[in-house]
Structure 1
Amino acid sequence: MTANTGHSVALSFEDGVTRFISVTPGQTVADASYRARINIPLDCRDGACGTCKAFCESGSYDGGDYIEEALTEDEADAGYCLPCQMTPESDLVLRISGTAEMAKSGVGRFTATIEQLHWYADNTAGLTLSVEDREQLAYLPGQYMNVLVPGTDQQRSYSFSSGPDAEQLTFLIRTAPDGAMTTYLKERAAVGDTLVLEGPKGSFFLREVKRPVLMLAGGTGIAPQLAMLEKIAQAAAGGAVPAHPIHLAYGATWDKDLIEVEALERYAAAIPGFTFSTIVADAESQHPRKGYVTQHLLPEHLNDGDVDVYLCGPPAMVDAVRRYFAGEGIEPANFYYERFAVGAVPAPALAGAGAA
């Protein structure tokens, strides 16, 4: 948003729900939240109690006036803030204490139409959707939506592979034998079908690039990374070139599981300092890099631990990467991760994504 119209603030709650508000110039985040009927924790409104204390994940702001008992100097230096006093100087992402339900703010519900169903392989589909009231669906790159499976009482969670400003939404779906969504996609789905989506949700999303970034993806775990790269590419096109290098290591079990490589090549051309490598685990593959992603990481990718890591993959991959870092004696500055299981409803993203 421009300086005349204010800034967009994403409120990220403990249950993984994210709500967006618009804050006008000079307005506090708390006042804007209440105008949007989102009741974030609040008591004194004077910067004296600390009840509304939040953590700023991204963006800049004027912290306003408050007393030491409400927010210490060390807390302020670490990124904590008081929404009742702070006024944004840019778009912000705030981590709010409490759940969206406590704030009396429900999950968004949207109606979408299938525009395209594309099969990369027999086990991987790409879904393109148009959404009613698209301008009302704001999300952070890396987040996901719950998709209700037509004809069932079940839902599945899929990360956006499209950037937040895309007119149409795209998702990558790994199918599973006898899975509810698999059965629908392979037997009944057709262009023009209506789907119901709920969200956005998830605490796995792109933060400000303040140091080198290492992205790790397994299979369709490339989806949220694509959304992040799209956001970075848009910023770079507008002159906001990343100040630090970004590397993506993308692993798959079989050659057919490597998808959207052409998109990665476009991002490599559009984002200064972005590089990527693809790795296939199948020993019979003719791919030049075989094995696991951790076998192809270089010292410059790890930067002696001064690196922000974004990892999205199956549970075994997440566990293996954590063991790798421990074995190398490396503790990343920030380690954001999300596990996914094929054919199952994943646990809330907050339980599987965060700084470790």
Structure 2
Amino acid sequence: MATAISEDRLWMMAALALARRGLGQVSPNPAVGCVIVAEGRALGRGWTQPGGRPHAETEALRRAGPAAHGATAYISLEPCSHHGKTPPCTDALIESGIKRCVISCEDPDPRVSGRGIAALRQAGIDVEVGLCADDARELNRGFFLNKLTGRPLVSLKLATSLDGRIALASGESKWITGEAARARAHLLRASHDAILVGAGTALVDNPRLDVRLPGLEVRSPVRVVMDRRLRLPPEHDLVAQARRRPTLLFTSARHDDGALASYREAGVEIAACTAAETDDRFPETVLKGLAERGLTRILLEGGAETATAFLKAGLVDRLEWFRAPLLIGADGLPGTGTLELDSLVQAPVFRREALEPLGEDLLERYRREAA
């Protein structure tokens, strides 16, 4: 017999659904959803707006207006309690006169971290915490990782044949997957803050790294290239179009200012890394730099070399694997390289979360199992 879902859970699920609208658009802030409810009816809905402001709570309260007095607020993350570029959301909630507040989980930001909950309770509001907490933490995994570990979430996107090949031996790869899968990949881009590729992929594929879905073009992420040897020519499209879309190049600090001048003049932001930072720790260095810039969700679309470097470093949190119903064979180019494992115990393990049919293709979504 199916278990009935409580009214609180239904409203919190609605708040989480609203929060997802902000993914890829609100960094360095978390994507939050809020619903103001009274007598079983939603009075106001809100979610974090592009750029991170206004916050979800103030948006929902604005829509609810005076009717929020005596209502319940369902919020997918603890409301902020500090003064930043906007006043604290706790103040707005208290001033609105809400009677009850259901919060999914605490905010890991040390400026908040329980203080928002305490402020609401001190004001006499009935506060409950923990409903759908796992879902809320997973939705904002990138924000949590940024605050707790100093790096963003990394999703590795692969588009391969059934036997894990991304191209023929000749390099031909257009198109392994079909139109529906390619459109879904653009939607995936729209939910991330940045797309990261290696220099090899940039040179071979000359990718635009944007979102080309009608109405979602403005959601194109920051473009990031890892190129320690500065192989990307200044006339490359990723450089030439840098003033139209933020582009960040991680390279070696050994290149002098003269070699980098043309990139900077084109609008490329240069992150020059020391020799120690561009050895085997290059992936960690890049992620640290992206986190410092406030980015929380990175889509890794690089070739096998870049994918392998992040997998070996244990820095891939999710797999977004588009698989086409064809076989290429052992002479094709693999999606990943050698991981140099001595035993299966060392193999990175992922748990499948979803299967999504896309025409004749299939999107398999995986989450990294905790070590």
The structure with the largest alpha-carbon Rg is 2
Same fold, judged at TM 0.5 (above):
no
Report the TM-score, using the length of structure 2 for normalisation: 0.29
Q: Which has the higher strand share?
A: 1
